[in-house]
A and B are shown apart, each in its own frame.
Chain A
Amino acid sequence: MIEVEGLSKRFGSRQAVDGLSLCARAGEIYGFLGPNGAGKTTTIRMLLGILAPDAGAIRICSRRVRRSDRAGRMLVGAVSEVQHLYNDMTCSGYLRFFADLYGVGRAEARVAEMLADVGLADRAADRAVDLSKGLQQKLGLARALLHNPPVLILDEPVSGLDPHGIREVREIILRERSRGRLVFLSSHVLSEIERTADRVGIIRQGRLLYEGTVGDILARYTTLEDAFVAMTGEARPCVEVPA
């Protein structure tokens, strides 16, 4: 469903993504992991067609992703770490605006359906910017799902959320997988990835270090975090707690 072959991107002297290849399939949650600066967000921007790769190819649902390919973007719903909202829009107004942009039929009904789907039906008339971060993430998920895309790409969707928010977003992610969607999930919250992902791809310095099932990793390491630290060499000294 997402096939990436030999993807590369350079910014000046920095090689952000270096010959990356990976494959994520329909109906699975694919955890996309890597330390800060590993090239995750750059890769995601290339998957979304808003950044052109220097080399390599991306196919989503067998369609070659090209920059500014409007039809290709209809195959994907995307949510970033922070929801960039309009100050003057209510939750329903925000979704209505994007429903109109996507050309969603019976937009009013679809907006109400999506608000109910993410548990925001009672906040429809509230200003979107006044919502808590967790609720804004849910609103972002509703926006990303409005046009019923087969692929959902989430970049750090639970970053900065409290445990309630994390649980609510997790439930939406698991539900979307059960509906047959591919959820491509980038996150630093490894416990969440361990709990939800079917397969993971771990990158460092723009290169793929590992791709496989979470089960395979847990057969070799105690936790996904242990595997991540061992593979990426990102071990840091523990802080000693005074007695």
Chain B
Amino acid sequence: MSDTVSAPPRWRVAAVIARREASAAIHGIGGYVALAAALIAGTWILLVDVRALEAGGLLVLADPFGPALTIAMLVLAMFLAVSAAVSTARDREGGTLETLFYGPVDESAYILGKVGGLVAAYVAALPLILACLALLSLMTGFALTMRIPIGLALSIVPAAEIVGFGILLSVGTSRVRTAILLLGAVILLLLGIAVAYRIVLLIPIADPASPILPLRDGLAAIDMGIRWLSPFAYLESVVDGVAAGAWRSAAINLALGFAYAAAMIALAALWLRRRGVERRGE
């Protein structure tokens, strides 16, 4: 028994888990469906702008690909969040989480590996998105500026934060279905508040004593809070900021996104440690 293997460094364990996670994401069909949906959504937004330009003869945009890129990134981010939640909950439900922890895997290595693997799969999708945007540039005649590849590259940080958010939500659940429902509820809540605020903004108010006013103020405050709390808001802010050439805003949101990602990873590891790795009912 003298040649027992010593424990590998934590980063190496995380890298093995990340490789496995990235491979599963790349070989699964879900990622390609999400990528196709993201590209369709982005193309649709671009076509809306093209039609507006045809109709009005003038379109004022900081970058014609900015809105398309933001939508495509948000669709892809939703998929990342769901994948992260499903992947972690599936490990617990299937019992593989406990088997991993029989070995030199601890909570930090596991969470870092999960985040790293899904972010790697996201990075693999970026050249495809860029190629598609280049093709659309040729078809529409809109110039593809350097801001777009920079925005794509910088979106990796908020993508990591979104993956961390999905994992954090699923760490406390025992089943894949519960994890998906919980994540769906959180996303719907975030979207619902944003949409409600925008709808209220459209309502004309003539009377200063209108009950709509305090409602609008309340929703504005909540919307502002969500902009700090929602991981999707940072992605939107970074991509929008870069596309508009608002570099300072993009840099601040990038730094905040980085801090958010670190907080999500740390909280997920702590919660997993508190929750344990056993399957439900065992």
Chain B residues in 8 Å Cβ range of A73: 7, 101-104
Q: In the bound complex, do residue A86 and residue B1 qualify as a contact, i.e. CB atoms below 8 Å apart?
A: no
Q: In the bound complex, do residue A103 and residue B282 qualify as a contact, i.e. CB atoms below 8 Å apart?
A: no
Given the known interface contacts A50-B277, A70-B106, A85-B96, the answer about A100 and B16 at a Cβ–Cβ threshold of 8 Å is: yes
- The residue that A74 contacts in the complex, of B19, B24, B27, B104, with Cβ under 8 A, is B104
Chain A residues in 8 Å Cβ range of B100: 101
Report the minimum CB–CB distance from B2 to chain A (whole Å). Answer: 9
Q: In the bound complex, do residue A101 and residue B278 qualify as a contact, i.e. CB atoms below 8 Å apart?
A: no
- Specify which of A41, A68, A70, A150 lies most central, judged by the most chain B CB atoms within 10 Å of its CB: A70
Chain B residues in 8 Å Cβ range of A78: 102
Interface residues of A in 124-181 (CB under 8 A from B): 143-144, 147-150, 179-181
Q: In the bound complex, do residue A101 and residue B13 qualify as a contact, i.e. CB atoms below 8 Å apart?
A: yes
Chain A residues in 8 Å Cβ range of B98: 50, 80, 84
Report the minimum CB–CB distance from A142 to chain B (whole Å). Answer: 13
B interface footprint on A177-188 (CB within 8 Å = 1, 0 otherwise)? 001110000000
Given the known interface contacts A50-B277, A51-B276, A101-B103, the answer about A82 and B95 at a Cβ–Cβ threshold of 8 Å is: yes
Report the minimum CB–CB distance from B221 to chain A (whole Å). Answer: 41
Interface residues of B in 88-110 (CB under 8 A from A): 94-96, 98-107, 109
Chain A residues in 8 Å Cβ range of B95: 80, 82, 84
- The residue that A75 contacts in the complex, of B4, B12, B19, with Cβ under 8 A, is B4
Q: In the bound complex, do residue A74 and residue B277 qualify as a contact, i.e. CB atoms below 8 Å apart?
A: no
Asked if B5 is at the interface (CB within 8 A of a chain A CB), the reply is yes
Asked if A76 is at the interface (CB within 8 A of a chain B CB), the reply is yes
Chain A residues in 8 Å Cβ range of B7: 70-71, 73-74, 103
Chain A residues in 8 Å Cβ range of B20: 97
Asked if A233 is at the interface (CB within 8 A of a chain B CB), the reply is no
**Chain B, residue nearest A41 (CB):** B282
Bound Cα distance A144, B103 (Å): 9
Bound Cα distance A149, B102 (Å): 12
Interface residues of A in 92-135 (CB under 8 A from B): 97-98, 100-105
Report the minimum CB–CB distance from A32 to chain B (whole Å). Answer: 17
Q: In the bound complex, do residue A104 and residue B5 qualify as a contact, i.e. CB atoms below 8 Å apart?
A: yes
Interface residues of B in 38-74 (CB under 8 A from A): none
Q: In the bound complex, do residue B8 and residue A48 qualify as a contact, i.e. CB atoms below 8 Å apart?
A: no
Question: What 3 A-B pairs come out closest when comparing CB atoms?
Answer: A84-B95, A103-B8, A150-B1
Chain B interface (Cβ within 8 Å of chain A)? 1, 3-8, 10, 12-13, 16-17, 19-20, 24, 27, 94-96, 98-107, 109, 273, 276-278, 282
15 extra A-B contacts, CB within 8 A, seeds A50-B102, A73-B103, A101-B105: A50-B101, A51-B276, A70-B106, A74-B4, A74-B5, A74-B7, A97-B20, A98-B103, A101-B13, A102-B8, A102-B103, A103-B6, A103-B12, A103-B104, A150-B1
